[in-house]
Structure 1
Amino acid sequence: MSVNVEMVKCACTDCVCVVSTDNAVKADGRIFCGENCANHHQQSTGCDHAGCPCHG
């Protein structure tokens, strides 16, 4: 039996975003909702998705 995962929670601890595995940013072997989270918020805080309390 196989399972196909299509949606996952962003790997950033503070982030609550759920992202499609096809549209995700992949870094360090993990899946993130965007570049800010994938880069560990080096450029700015937050992921810039509406309603997300992520502060990196």
Structure 2
Amino acid sequence: MTAIDVTMVKCACSDCICVFSTKAAVTKEGRFYCSEECANHHKGGSGCHHAGCTCHG
């Protein structure tokens, strides 16, 4: 079997549309997020603030 290195992922936040490098990820509970806001489930009600994304958890 051939190993596959994943370098780009979609944010684990269900409302988020961001795709980013795993090297830039915020990791929480074993999942990859694009920002602290998404990783913390938008507790303050703010989105990730990336262009074109309107997520708020």
Flag whether TM exceeds 0.5 (same fold): yes
Using the aligned pairs only, state the percent identity. 59
Q: Does the residue aligned with 1:37 lie in a helix, a strand or coil?
A: helix
Number of residue-to-residue matches in the alignment:
56
- Give structure 2 stretches of 5+ with no counterpart: none
- Give structure 1 stretches of 5+ with no counterpart: none
Higher helix share: 2
- Opposite residue 10 of structure 2, the aligned amino acid is K
Using the size of structure 1 for normalisation, the TM-score is 0.92
Larger CA Rg, structure 1 vs 2 = 2
2-side partners of 1:18 and 1:28: how far apart? 19
Q: Does the residue aligned with 1:36 lie in a helix, a strand or coil?
A: helix
Using the size of structure 2 for normalisation, the TM-score is 0.91
